[in-house]
Amino acid sequence: MIKPNWDDFHAILLKNKIPQNQQSFYVKRIETFLRFLHNSDLKNHSGSDISNPSNIKAENVSDFLLEIDRKTEMSSWQFRQVLHALKLFLISLCHLPWAKDFDWNYWQDAAIKLADNHATVARDYTEIPVKSPLTSQTPSKALSASQQALFNSLIYILRAGNYAIRTEQTYADWVFRFFQFHATVDGDELGDEHVKRYLEYLAVERRVASSTQAVVLNSLVFLFRKVLDRDLDVKGFRLATKARKLPVVLTTDEIRALLTQMDGLYGLLAGLQYGTGMRLMELIRLRVQDIDVGYQQIVIRNAKGNKDRLVPLPQCYQQQLIDQIAFVSHQHEIDLEHGNGEVYLPDALSRKLPNAAKALGWQYLFPASRHSVDPRSGAVRRHHIHESSLQKKIKQAATNANLLKRVSSHTLRHSFATHLLENGYDIRTVQELLGHADVSTTMIYTHVLNKPGLSVRSPADLI
């Protein structure tokens, strides 16, 4: 068994400003790792002597992290402490070359567990809410019996129509707030004037954006048309003028500078979003079976509007995707060996295909580094990584690349569309790749075809 020089390790901990009262925990984390190496059969499989630190491999670390996630109920901060201890031990004490390139970011940032009301899993968890679905705040006044009945009907109609869970959450939230605003009014007595009064309150007192006003109006139109079975007349109310904003687009040099600042899994994710134009959640929710290397394409299933579409598989990321599938396969094999390996399946697929939840093809291509426990059934599942982790990485990369533009993950999608038009692709092709229902939505990117800033010479240059 490896016998590290603990004095040297303590010196490394001091150099990295680890508080004295935490150093013993760092040592215990490494001792647990070394016991794992000693007790495992890695020595028999590899034929190497695990008493020599140089024989520790990257897969040993991955297997150990999977093992502690399975056997222990660690909090997020404890898991991060394990990662930090391993990083200092392998890089600074053992001086293993591969340890610097190990994807520590994946194991740390992909450990964020999905909330119970996350869009990926909410349909399984969400019952008819008695409080605001999005804010999860207990109302100051309970809904009246008639309002609660209408609210229940709204949820049933949304689910019967197979509306997206995010649509359900948004509509339910605004209808709930509308009922709360008119708490003293019986549900069947609500009419056009009540809607106008609420919209005016949001516009004047709350000063919500024009886009928010439009969402609220859509929610209430749905309530009146589908639940109350009557049309809503709000002609006397005028929505705020929606600002016409051009999308933030990066040049190819700026894209290159941004992607240079990212590596590992998050470098692959950012590169794929730029290379395919996928929406953030479309990318995060990809399954292993959605990657078609043979036809050089990626299948996006159940996208916005419940539509499937195809996008090109960038050749520059093909090998990384193959490696990612191999990683998921290895991770999945270990999960299956220990009685896990189940993944979330949408709608009724889990009943139609009872074995699919543990099939490799249905596993998320970008899985979380830790399991999550279903709060209702107790089933242990491995969900996809949380979308916020990629968003944070992109913003940090933009800062590191000294980009002055306001960069988000959606900026990569904007840049994809704009650069395709610059390269001569027609608007209909770009519309299909982006998954837009109407070409007018795609037309916003045609600003690149008419560049007044370049075609018009400033009069200041003529002085």
> What average pLDDT does the segment 390-419 reach?
95
The reply to whether 26 falls in a domain is yes
> Do 80 and 159 belong together in one domain?
no
The reply to whether 136 falls in a domain is yes
Question: Which of 163, 194, 227 is the C-terminal boundary of a domain?
Answer: 227
Residue 374 has pLDDT above 90, yes or no: no
The reply to whether 246 falls in a domain is no
3-state SS record for 361-393: HHCECCECCCCEECCCCCCEECCECCHHHHHHH
Query: How would you label 171-183 residue by residue, b for 16+ Cβ within 10 Å and e otherwise?
Result: bbbbbbbbbbebe
CATH of the domain at 286: 1.10.443.10
Question: Is the pTM for the entire model greater than 0.85?
Answer: no
Residue 461 has pLDDT above 80, yes or no: no
Rounded (10°) CA dihedral 78, 84, 90, 94: -110
> Do 258 and 392 belong together in one domain?
yes
> What average pLDDT does the segment 391-420 reach?
95
Q: How many residues does the chain have?
A: 463
Residue 430 has pLDDT above 90, yes or no: yes
Question: Which of 102, 137, 166 is the C-terminal boundary of a domain?
Answer: 102
Least confident residue range of 249-263, 338-352, 441-455: 441-455
**Where does 100-196 show beta strands of DSSP type E?**
none
> Do 138 and 215 belong together in one domain?
yes
The reply to whether 239 falls in a domain is no
Question: Which of 194, 227, 260 is the C-terminal boundary of a domain?
Answer: 227
Task: Provide the pairing of β-strand 307-312 with 380-381.
Answer: unpaired
Distance CA 163, CA 117 (A): 16
The number of distinct structural domains making up the chain is 3
CB 314 within 8 A of CB 272: yes
> What average pLDDT does the segment 8-27 reach?
94
Residue-number span of the structural domain to which 266 is assigned: 252-447
The reply to whether 276 falls in a domain is yes
The whole-number pLDDT of residue 208 equals: 87
Average pLDDT, the chain: 86
The reply to whether 457 falls in a domain is no
More confident residue, 33 or 241: 33
The whole-number pLDDT of residue 450 equals: 64
Tens digit of each residue's pLDDT (9 = 90 or more) over 134-187: 554 444 467 888 898 999 999 889 888 878 778 888 999 999 999 999 988 888
Distance CA 345, CA 12 (A): 45
Distance CA 13, CA 6 (A): 10
> Do 220 and 259 belong together in one domain?
no
> Do 77 and 136 belong together in one domain?
no
> Do 362 and 295 belong together in one domain?
yes
The reply to whether 235 falls in a domain is no
Phi, psi angle pair for 373, to nearest 5°? -105, 125
The catalytic residue positions are 279, 304, 410, 413, 436, 445
Q: Treating both helix axes as pointing N-terminal to C-terminal, what angle do 264-276 and 387-400 enclose, rounded to 10 degrees?
A: 90
> Do 256 and 402 belong together in one domain?
yes
> Do 47 and 142 belong together in one domain?
no
State both tokens at 20.
């004295």
> Do 259 and 192 belong together in one domain?
no
> Do 197 and 301 belong together in one domain?
no
On the 0-12 / 13-18 / 19+ scale of CB atoms within 10 A, 348 is exposed
Least confident residue range of 38-42, 215-219, 445-449: 38-42
Helix, strand, or coil here: 71? helix
Distance CA 144, CA 180 (A): 9
Question: pLDDT category, 449, cuts 50, 70, 90?
Answer: low
Residue 239 has pLDDT above 80, yes or no: no
CATH of the domain at 182: 1.10.150.130
CB 433 within 8 A of CB 307: no
Tens digit of each residue's pLDDT (9 = 90 or more) over 172-226: 999 999 999 998 888 888 988 899 889 889 988 888 888 888 899 999 999 999 9
The reply to whether 238 falls in a domain is no
Task: Provide the pairing of β-strand 297-303 with 291-292.
Answer: antiparallel
Cβ neighbors of 385 (< 8 A, separation 6 or more) are 109, 110, 112, 265, 284, 366, 367, 368, 369
Dihedral sign computed on CA atoms, order 232, 234, 240, 244? positive
> Do 92 and 129 belong together in one domain?
no
Tens digit of each residue's pLDDT (9 = 90 or more) over 300-341: 998 887 789 999 999 999 999 999 999 999 999 999 998 889
Distances (CA, A) of 341 to 5, 122, 352, 383: 38, 20, 18, 10
> Do 282 and 377 belong together in one domain?
yes
